[in-house]
């Protein structure tokens, strides 16, 4: 019985997922990110201190747990990979070289309401860079470049990375005279969900804003540009603050760097805030063209105060691809297809059960050369064995010589033959030397 929010892909979908993960992994490594995996659980007090997540954390406990177990021993499943990464850095900082660049591809868990593209258990692919005490800003500009390269390597619609900088927002709010900037950020971040009228009312009610201040916050959130023109539009609102100026300069650097690397990849979107409290500067969200109504598939940002040991801080910046979210949306629209449902390249036909050992030896020779091979499951008529391969999209059937194999396949002689069942072409073949076309060695994924 399916459990809502815990997706299980079918084998063809799993092939697609694995190939996409291979592309993500290889792109991350091209930029120098090293692989890391952290535990699935964290102390509950750590998980509850990082923003509006308390209703989403899954607790971990034994069925027969001791009633007298200490409350502070409670563990929860991690809801993202940034918090456990920060904990890992603080515990291992003496063994790491900084700036430390890592990627993680792991499951995370959130107890939110399942819907299309949103799950309770899902796969994320993260990159982060962490420094000791300081982290150069150019790493903020690198994040969109990596993600842009990932997406261009995949058979998916074009993506636009939306960027903002919390310093812009917080400086602007300060300049307006609003003190609870964190509350303003959280409220404005709900703009797409509840609309401008409700956001304005919430700003008045929860952040102590006047109607004029709320209107100014909405005016800032309405600014969007694919080039540096956003900065002039912000300044035209007539608000000044040193933090605002700093944020505008940083955001301009991100937009201009991305524009040089890949025009159209990045757009400054000043309503982006991100709901987690630990972001302090640049923030990112990503929309897939044609899927904008489903929200962001990639998000992240700069965090300067998430990790520290004594007086030493470990500022970082990171971005995360919601792999399950991306795939769920594309699978839901039948937007991806795979050339076959199994890895197998060739099926060795089985003339009779007493020939199985000989057929296994042929398969072993092909496998040793990196060619995924199955022996037919039963010694049925060759027409049925070809049908077995065809139903799975397997491109080749191998006919062993002797015992009528060649003659039944329409060939004569004592040489093995292999048939491309798509074209009908059948040729002599030796398992020690035969090589399928490179394109057939692995299932191929394409846009449907």
In the annotated binding site, the residues are 80-82, 110, 124, 128, 274, 278-279
Burial of 14 (0-12, 13-18, 19+ CB in 10 A): middle
State the binding site for L-histidine: 80-82, 110, 124, 128, 274, 278-279
Is the Cβ–Cβ distance between 218 and 229 less than 8 Å? no
Nearest to 260 by CA among 234, 298, 227, 213: 227
Strand partners, 41: 77
Distance between CA 182 and CA 307 in Å, rounded? 19
Integer angstrom CA distances of residue 184 from 162, 193, 210:
20, 15, 12
Helix extents (H) in 164-241: 166-176, 181-188, 191-194, 196-206, 211-221, 229-235
Distance between CA 80 and CA 76 in Å, rounded? 12
3-state secondary structure at position 339: coil
**Three-class secondary structure assignment of 102-151:** EEEEEEEECCCCCECCECCEEEEEEEEEECCCCCCCHHHHHHHHHHHHHH
Give the chain's radius of gyration (CA, Å). Answer: 28
Tell me the torsion sign for CA atoms 14, 41, 78, 38: negative
Distance between CA 45 and CA 51 in Å, rounded? 12
Distance between CA 13 and CA 337 in Å, rounded? 8
DSSP 73: G
In the sheet that holds 59-60, the strands lie side by side as 41-43, 75-77, 59-60
Distance between CA 60 and CA 56 in Å, rounded? 13
Q: Which two tokens stand for residue 314?
A: 């470990």
Beta strand 308-309 with 298-303 is unpaired
3-state secondary structure at position 299: strand
Integer angstrom CA distances of residue 302 from 167, 277, 280, 314:
11, 11, 6, 11
Is the Cβ–Cβ distance between 429 and 418 less than 8 Å? yes
């Amino acid at each position: 019985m399916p459990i809502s929010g815990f997706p299980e892909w079918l084998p063809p979908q799993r092939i697609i997922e694995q190939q996409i993960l291979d592309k993500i992994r290889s792109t991350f490594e091209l930029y120098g990110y090293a692989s890391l995996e952290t535990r699935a659980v964290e102390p509950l007090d750590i998980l509850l201190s990082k923003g509006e997540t308390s209703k989403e954390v899954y607790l971990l406990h034994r069925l027969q747990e001791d009633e007298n177990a200490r409350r502070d021993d409670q563990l929860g499943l991690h809801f993202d990979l940034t918090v456990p990464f920060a904990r890992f850095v603080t515990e291992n900082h003496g063994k790491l070289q900084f700036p430390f660049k890592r990627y993680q591809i792991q499951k995370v868990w959130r107890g939110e309401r399942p819907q299309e593209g949103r799950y309770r258990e899902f796969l994320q692919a993260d990159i982060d860079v962490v420094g000791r005490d300081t982290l150069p800003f150019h790493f903020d500009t690198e994040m969109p470049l990596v993600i842009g390269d990932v997406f261009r390597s995949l058979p998916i619609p074009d993506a636009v990375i939306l960027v903002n900088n919390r310093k812009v927002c917080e400086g602007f709010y300060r300049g307006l005279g609003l003190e609870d900037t964190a509350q303003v950020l959280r409220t404005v971040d709900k703009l797409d969900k509840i609309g401008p009228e409700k956001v304005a009312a919430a700003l008045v009610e929860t952040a102590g804003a006047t109607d004029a201040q709320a209107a100014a916050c909405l005016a800032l959130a309405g600014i969007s540009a694919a080039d540096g023109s956003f900065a002039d539009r912000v300044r035209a609102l007539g608000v000044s603050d040193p933090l605002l100026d700093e944020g505008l300069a940083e955001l301009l650097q991100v937009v201009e760097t991305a524009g040089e690397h890949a025009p159209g990849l990045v757009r400054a979107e000043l309503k982006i805030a991100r709901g987690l409290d630990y972001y302090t500067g640049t923030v990112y969200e990503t929309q897939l063209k044609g899927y904008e109504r489903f929200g962001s598939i990639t998000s992240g940002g700069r965090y300067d105060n998430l990790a520290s040991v004594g007086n030493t801080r470990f500022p970082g910046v990171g971005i995360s691809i919601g792999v399950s979210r991306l795939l769920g949306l594309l699978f839901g629209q039948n937007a991806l297809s795979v050339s076959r449902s199994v890895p197998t390249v060739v099926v060795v036909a089985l003339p009779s059960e007493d020939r199985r050992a000989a057929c296994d030896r042929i398969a072993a020779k092909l496998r040793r050369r990196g060619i995924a091979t199955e022996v037919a499951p039963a010694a049925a008529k060759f027409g049925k064995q070809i049908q077995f391969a065809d139903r799975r999209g397997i491109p080749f059937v191998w006919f062993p010589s002797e015992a009528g194999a060649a003659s039944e396949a329409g060939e004569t002689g004592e040489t093995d033959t292999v048939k491309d069942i798509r074209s009908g072409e059948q040729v002599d073949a030796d398992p020690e030397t035969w090589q399928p076309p490179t394109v057939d060695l692995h299932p191929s994924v394409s846009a449907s």
